[in-house]
Amino acid sequence: MTANSAVVSPSTAIPYKPRKRWGEIIAPYLFISPFLISFILLFLGPAVYSLVLSFFRFAGYGEATFVGVQNYEKTLYYHVFWTQMRNVVQYWVGHAIPLVVLAFLMAVLVNARSVKNKNLVKPLLFLPQLVAAVAAALLFKNFFGTNYGLLNTILGQQIPWLENMDIARWVVIIVIVWRGMAYWFVIFQAGLTSINTEVTEAAIVDGANALQRLIFITIPLMRRTFLFFFVMDAIGSIRIFETPNVLGSNMGGLAPLQMAPVLNLVIDNIRNALFGQAAATSWLLFIFIAFISWMQFRLFRD
């Protein structure tokens, strides 16, 4: 051994790592391949196709004609699109605050220590979510019916709840809140359980009352849950379809323009064999959803 040679002790020796076999490398991708294949075939592929289709005039048969952004311009200059967008925004803004307040307060009250039989209360509060959207709309349609509705029978009046479009839009909001409370109650329950109890116990020791703990501890720590609510609720509101159409239509048709959602315009375009126009309208909705989501992430950033 020469003087310049270094002695490598067993503790400093580089451990030998056996080379992975091809089977070990490929195995994880094989496990996720069903999702990847279904995602590409059922979502990514149709999405790319609809984006390309939005720049063409295509009737479902024959040759497609390239029209550039003409489909987008027609939609943006079409008064029906903006009327339906106004309806959708009213549905969204009208129900978001009552829904988040009621669902959150329900979760807080059920999560309180004074509440007993929580295993019985939680399933009962979740029952509205088990009712399908169409069934819930039919239920409220009978409840708010003008001639034979339960509410008018109790009041002894003939109030046109569903014939007056200004009132009918608020009936849609009531149905959305009734169904949505059950789902978001469960989400807020999960968010409350993630809060460290040591924080609230320390606040109790410092003399904070229940309201102070709710405002200054619980709500700030639930920020990510509130962000999830506002983003997902906005997406669901813009994509609303069943509730206004069931409440406002007769014999299974679509709702009148004054309470129709934007997806009705997509359906009308498809019925009229304007597939490029329908694709353009869908992508305008996507852009609107993306912008709203970006704004909400910015607002909840801090």
Q: Given this model, what pLDDT does residue 9 score?
A: 53
Q: Given this model, what pLDDT does residue 1 score?
A: 47
Q: Residue 24: which region, alpha, beta or left (left: phi > 0; alpha: psi -120 to 50)? A: alpha
For the stretch 86-116, pLDDT in tens is: 999 999 999 999 999 999 999 888 887 666 7
Alpha-helix residue ranges (DSSP H) falling in the chain = 22-39, 45-53, 70-76, 79-111, 118-130, 133-143, 150-155, 165-193, 197-205, 210-213, 219-221, 223-238, 242-248, 263-271, 275-299
- The partner residues of 57 in beta bridges, in order of sequence, read 65
Of 233, 237, 230, residue with least CA distance to 296: 230
Indicate the residue type of 207. G
Of 154, 157, 164, 183, residue with least CA distance to 247: 164
Q: Given this model, what pLDDT does residue 70 score?
A: 93
Any idea where the domains of the chain sit in the sequence? 23-71, 79-299
Q: Given this model, what pLDDT does residue 128 score?
A: 86
Indicate the residue type of 86. R
For the stretch 250-268, pLDDT in tens is: 766 788 999 999 999 999 9
In tens digits, the chain (302 residues) has pLDDT values of: 444 555 555 555 555 556 667 767 788 888 898 998 999 999 999 999 999 999 999 888 888 889 989 999 999 999 999 999 999 999 999 999 999 999 999 988 888 766 677 777 778 888 888 888 889 999 999 999 888 888 888 888 888 999 899 999 999 999 999 999 999 999 999 888 888 888 888 888 888 888 888 888 888 888 889 999 999 999 988 889 999 999 988 766 788 999 999 999 999 999 999 999 999 999 999 999 999 989 888 887 76
Rg over CA atoms, the chain: 27
pTM: 0.82
Fold observed for domain 79-299: MetI-like fold (1.10.3720)
Q: Given this model, what pLDDT does residue 206 score?
A: 81
Q: Given this model, what pLDDT does residue 103 score?
A: 93
85 and 292 Cβ atoms separated by less than 8 Å: no
Query: How far apart are the C-alpha atoms of 208 and 262, rounded to whole Å?
Result: 47
